[in-house]
Homo-oligomer: A and B are copies of this chain.
Amino acid sequence: MSPEGARTRRTRSDSVRNRSEILDVAERHFADRGVSASLEAVARDAGVGSATLYRHFPTRDALLVELLDRRTAQVVSDIERLEQMADSGEALAGWMVALEEFFGVFDGLPGPLRDAFLEEHNPLASTCIGFIERTDHFLGAAQRDGKARADVSGRDLFLAALALSWARGSSLAGPDSPARLRALLRDGFAGPDAG
């Protein structure tokens, strides 16, 4: 895509340096203070003017997309491990846990993802869609084996995982309530077909 018809100039080195530095600092700040961390502070710590930050990432969500894509690679290994499992129901359950944990990397991450899920031209939407397709993959296999009810969709489970991760909250909730909520959800989607 870069070498289009007309000759194109190489990107300036300071630009790529700044972009990378911004991403590193943002990762740290988001991890420490959640997705609502001050972008001014990110720019400051990156040794960059705020305009530079906004030029590279017009919105907070654009920054999130990049950060999440970085982390996705790590999740891929989980996927591959799960795909080898004999029991498709267990694989689906494992995938749901992986999803929920992924949403926990930054405090407050479920919010933007849910909103992107609703809005149309949100850069995070494609990230969501990728996860939903993965979920459909595992769900479909489980459904074929009778290990999951037929009247749910990947979208539903994606939203459910998002909600579970949201419920876990930013601070430490009851230590075992996440597990119980997970069990609640599982006996829902792993149960009989009854409506």
Contacts and interface: CB of A to CB of B under 8 A. Distances in A.
A177 to B, nearest CB: 6
Contacts of A172: 118
In the complex, the count of this chain's copies comes to: 2
A185 interface: yes
Interface stretch (A3-11, A25-33, A59-67, A149-157): A149-157
Interface in A148-172: 149, 151-153, 155-156, 159-160, 162-164, 166-167, 169-172
A166 B169 contact: no
Nearest to A194: B187
Given A169-B114, A171-B118, A177 B163 contact: no
Contact of A152 (B173, B184, B191): B184
A188 B184 contact: yes
Interface string A84-109: 00000000000000000000000000
Interface of A: 114-115, 117-119, 149, 151-153, 155-156, 159-160, 162-164, 166-167, 169-174, 177, 180-181, 183-189, 191, 194-195
Ranked 9 nearest A-B pairs via Cβ: A184-B188, A188-B188, A163-B163, A163-B167, A118-B171, A187-B188, A187-B191, A159-B167, A156-B180
24 contacts: A114-B166, A115-B170, A117-B169, A118-B171, A118-B172, A119-B171, A153-B180, A155-B174, A156-B180, A159-B167, A159-B173, A159-B181, A160-B184, A163-B163, A163-B166, A163-B167, A163-B181, A183-B188, A183-B195, A184-B185, A184-B188, A187-B191, A187-B194, A188-B191
